[in-house]
Amino acid sequence: MVLRLLEISSLTVNCSSVAAAIDVLSLWISLAEPWIATNDSLATPILPRVDCILSALTRIVLVDISAFSCSIEIMVSISPVDSCVRCAKERTSSATTAKPRPCSPARAASIAAFNASKLVCSAIALITSSTLPTLLDSVASC
């Protein structure tokens, strides 16, 4: 789980740096457009910046691919927990609220549902703590 959080954190940093690069590139392009449109001889000094733009676009694509694969890995990690919760909910009956006997199926289902909910709650807490800094950064940049 810690390794997964480190991967997500690293991916967040990459996305943030790519977003900053996109802002810079947008500015360069908006400044270069009038020059290129009015005078072909001015296009030559712009060519090194075009290489920089292509390099940044390559980074954007690589981060996008990395984000997609990370999302798939996260879904694969979450899916077993989700199926455990669903399975436990199906086994839980209204009898669980009526003080079931220690060895009854209703008690076993209740315990399974409780354990699954603890696992989900701890995962939600970890996900929230890892995504909160990203949310705060995005709000601060607006």
pLDDT given for residue 120 in this prediction: 74
Alpha helices (runs of H) in 1-42, residue ranges in sequence order: 2-38
- Evaluate if residue 97 carries a pLDDT over 60: no
pLDDT at position 140 over 60 = yes
Q: What is the pLDDT of residues 98-116, one digit of tens each?
A: 565 556 677 777 777 787 7
- CB neighbour class for 84 (10 Å; exposed up to 12, middle 13-18, buried from 19): middle
Quote the number of domains for the chain: 1
pLDDT bin (cut points 50, 70, 90) of residue 49 is low
Domain interval for residue 22: 2-141
Tally the residues of the chain. Answer: 142
Find out whether 93 and 83 touch, Cβ atoms under 8 Å: no
Report the distance separating Cα 34 and Cα 23, nearest Å: 18
Q: Give the mean model confidence (pLDDT) for residues 92-101.
A: 55
Query: What is the pLDDT, as a whole number, of residue 115?
Result: 78
